[in-house]
Structure formats: structure tokens, C-alpha cells
């Protein structure tokens, strides 16, 4: 299957600072990538769809000014959590479809964010 990487795998930051998370498709091009957030013992929550060359599409209730998404190239999308607060502490996961009729999604390994 396709490989998606994320960096960093975990990060601790102080309240009020910003954190950038990178998502890369390693062996395929992705015009679309997805960003999810997952709290403990809960399912994935789609935050936004990242579109190469255009603005991201945010899900209802997700603050676009707080969670900045940039899809700089066909293999890289970044999520920046601005002015992070403890309630932003979560597991952030990106995914990318390899394409084709089946629309298989491949997930990155995730980034554990802890805001102190």
C-alpha cells in the first residue's frame, strides 16, 4: 500500500504557542489530503480537507483561523495549530487517497500533541 508520513510523531508545547505538523505522501501524489483529530477512546473526527493549490475546506465547527492548513505541493500538506491551548491536546492524523475507483485512504502514523 501507499505510504504517508507525518512529522513530528509527538510534540509538547506551551499554551499560546503555535505548532506545525507535516504530512507527506512518500510514493504517490495527493491532490487531496485529510486532517483528523482523535481524542482518547473516541473515533476520528474529520477537521478539514486540504486541497493542493487552493484553500482548505473545513468541517463545521472547526476554526479555520486556528487550524491553518497549507497544501504546498502534491506530496506535502501542513497543519498549524495556532495559539494552542490545553484543550487542543489530541492525536492528529492525516490521510491521503491513492486514487482510483476504490478511493482507498492511507493514514499517516499520527502526531500526539500535548499543550501544557
Partner 1 sequence: QKEVEQNSGPLSVPEGAIASLNCTYSDRGSQSFFWYRQYSGKSPELIMFIYSNGDKEDGRFTAQLNKASQYVSLLIRDSQPSDSATYLCALWGYSSASKIIFGSGTRLSIRP
Whether a cis peptide bond, with omega within 30° of 0, leads into 14 is no
Smallest gap, in angstroms, from Cβ of residue 83 to partner 1? 26
Cβ distance to partner 1 smaller for residue 45 or 82: 45
User: Is there a cis peptide before residue 8, judged by omega within 30 degrees of 0?
Assistant: yes
Q: Which is nearer to partner 1, 7 or 82 (CB)?
A: 7
Give the C-alpha distances (Å, rounded to integers) separating 7 from 22, 42, 57, 64.
5, 22, 22, 21
Residue whose CB is less far from partner 1, 15 or 55: 55
Q: Of 45 and 76, which CB lies nearer to partner 1 in the complex structure?
A: 45
What are the residues binding partner 1 (CB under 8 A)? 1, 32, 34, 42-44, 46, 49, 91, 93, 95, 97, 101-110, 112
- CB 89, CB 57: distance < 8 Å: no
Contact 33, 23 (CB under 8 A): yes
Amino acid at each position: 500500500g501507499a505510504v504517508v508520513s507525518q512529522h513530528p510523531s509527538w510534540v509538547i508545547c506551551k499554551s499560546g504557542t503555535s505548532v506545525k505538523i507535516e504530512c507527506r505522501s512518500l510514493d504517490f501524489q495527493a491532490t487531496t489530503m485529510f486532517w483528523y483529530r482523535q481524542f482518547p477512546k473516541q473515533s476520528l473526527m474529520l477537521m478539514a480537507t486540504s486541497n493542493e493549490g487552493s484553500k482548505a475546506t473545513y468541517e463545521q465547527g472547526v476554526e479555520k483561523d486556528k487550524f491553518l492548513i497549507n497544501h504546498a505541493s502534491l506530496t506535502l500538506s501542513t497543519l498549524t495549530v495556532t495559539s494552542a491551548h490545553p484543550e487542543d491536546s489530541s492525536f492528529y492524523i492525516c490521510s491521503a487517497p491513492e486514487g482510483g475507483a476504490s478511493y482507498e485512504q492511507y493514514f499517516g502514523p499520527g502526531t500526539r500533541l500535548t499543550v501544557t
